[in-house]
Structure 1
Amino acid sequence: MPVIFASLFRPVTYSRWLHLLIGWVFAGVVLLVYPGTEGLSVVRVVVLSAAVDSVLLTAVAMIPAMRRAEGVQARLLLVPEREESIGAAPSASWRDRARTALWLIARVGLGFAVGMSTVGVLTFGASLVRPSVGTGALLLPVLAFALLWLVVFAGRLQLWLAQKLLGPSAAERLAEAELRAERLLERNRLARELHDSIGHALTVTVLQAGAAREVADPAFRERALEAIETVGRRAMEDLERMLVLLREAPDAVPAEQPGIDRVGELLEGARAAGSPIEADVAVRGAELPGVLSREAYRIVQEGVTNALKHAPGAPIRVRARVEDETLVLSCRNVLVGGGRKGGGKGLRGIRERAVLLGGDATSEAVDGEWVLRVRLPVRLAG
Structure 2
Amino acid sequence: MSLVLRRLTDKTTWRRWSYLVVGGALLMPYWFLGMLLVGFVPLLPDNWISAVAVLITPIFAAFVTGLVPTVRPLESVAARELLRGASSELNARPPDTWESRGRAGAWFSLHLHVGVVIAAMSLAIPPFAIALLLFPFVDMGRFTDEAPLRDWKHSAWAWLGPPAGLLMVFVLIALIIAAGETLSRLAPLFLGPSPSERLAELESRAVKLAERNRLARELHDSVGHALSVVTLQAGAAGRVLDTDPAFAREALGAIEESARSALEDLDHVLGLLREDASTRTAPQATLKDVDRLLEQTRIAGVKLDAEVAEDVEQVPPAVSREAYRIVQEALTNALRHAGRVPVRLRITIGGDQLEIDVSNPLGGASAGHHSGGRGLDGIRERVTVLRGHMIAGVDDGRWRVAVTLPLRSGS
Q: Same fold (TM over 0.5)?
A: yes
- Residues 1:157 and 2:162 aligned together: no
**Equivalent in 332, 355, 360 of residue 384 of structure 2:** 355
- Residues 1:92 and 2:96 aligned together: yes
1:195 aligns with 220
Counterpart contact for 1:238–1:255, Cα < 8 Å: no
2:46 aligns with 39
Q: Aligned pairs, how many?
A: 378
- TM-fit CA distance, 1:166: 0.8
Alpha-carbon distance in 2 for matches of 1:338, 1:70: 62
State percent identity of aligned pairs.
Answer: 38
Counterpart contact for 1:281–1:321, Cα < 8 Å: yes
Distance 1:233 1:250, change over 3 A: closer
1:57-96 mapped onto 2 (5 Å cutoff): 57-79=62-84, 84-87=89-92, 89-96=93-100
Counterpart contact for 1:259–1:296, Cα < 8 Å: yes
Alpha-carbon distance in 2 for matches of 1:370, 1:323: 24
Q: Larger radius of gyration, structure 1 or 2? A: 2
**Equivalent in 122, 125, 128 of residue 124 of structure 1:** 128
* Range with greater deviation from structure 2 (226-235 or 59-68): 59-68
- TM-fit CA distance, 1:169: 1.7
Counterpart contact for 1:277–1:316, Cα < 8 Å: yes
SS in 2 for 1:370: strand
Alpha-carbon distance in 2 for matches of 1:315, 1:157: 73
Counterpart contact for 1:320–1:328, Cα < 8 Å: yes
2:19 aligns with 19
Counterpart contact for 2:80–2:90, Cα < 8 Å: no
Distance 1:92 1:149, change over 3 A: same
**Equivalent in 100, 108, 114 of residue 104 of structure 1:** 108
SS in 1 for 2:347: strand
1:9 aligns with 9
* Range with greater deviation from structure 2 (172-181 or 11-20): 11-20
| Residue type of the alignment partner of 1:20 | L
**Equivalent in 211, 219, 242 of residue 186 of structure 1:** 211
1:221 aligns with 248
Counterpart contact for 1:357–1:381, Cα < 8 Å: no
The alignment yields a C-alpha RMSD, in angstroms, of 3.1
- TM-fit CA distance, 1:222: 2.2
Alpha-carbon distance in 2 for matches of 1:201, 1:363: 22
| Residue type of the alignment partner of 1:181 | A
**Equivalent in 225, 249, 268 of residue 241 of structure 1:** 268
The TM-score normalised by the length of structure 2 is 0.80
Distance 1:81 1:287, change over 3 A: farther
- TM-fit CA distance, 1:372: 0.5
Alpha-carbon distance in 2 for matches of 1:271, 1:221: 13
SS in 2 for 1:374: strand
The TM-score normalised by the length of structure 1 is 0.86
Distance 1:30 1:288, change over 3 A: same
* Range with greater deviation from structure 2 (47-56 or 364-373): 47-56
